[in-house]
Structure 1
């Protein structure tokens, strides 16, 4: 990086050291610290707690929807929608759990400052 000014409208390449899997597309523009990190242990705890709860919710609403008759309240469609929402949250929690465990493993394997 040089000290000369770049023409307006051009972007300089961002460092890839703390980038995501694909890399940063644009340089940082906010005031957050360069070393800002997500609270990975809290995300791990929340994903680990809510994953089984959402699995149980999806199963519960799915079974309830299967046992619902034509005139019952709540309607079968409502229960199926709740089961689908819980299933979507299961997928999100599982994906977050995989991402967080991978990042924690990568942090543990990289040597720290000497």
Structure 2
């Protein structure tokens, strides 16, 4: 079964994402910030990380940079999931190593299409 780590400081967003991902037959884990997510990835690398941009402790961008320097192999696919929609934000996320980008709020169809783009749906 495919695995996804949902990283968001909002319990509501994590719950919504979990529900959608489980209907897409993903095994889902959750983390409330980037530091927690990095520790999880080092223990149990998921197939994909659904990553929030703005979080306390360690932001999505900080997590992405730390993951990039961790030497983890294979590296999980990263789908940024955020309200930040400026072209500059999207470019920065892709340059930092994100594989795809989805805007909040998202629905099942949108998330499924992004997962297809990264080869996981």
Q: TM-score, normalised by structure 1?
A: 0.25
- The structure whose residues are more often helix, as a share, is 1
- The structure whose residues are more often strand, as a share, is 2
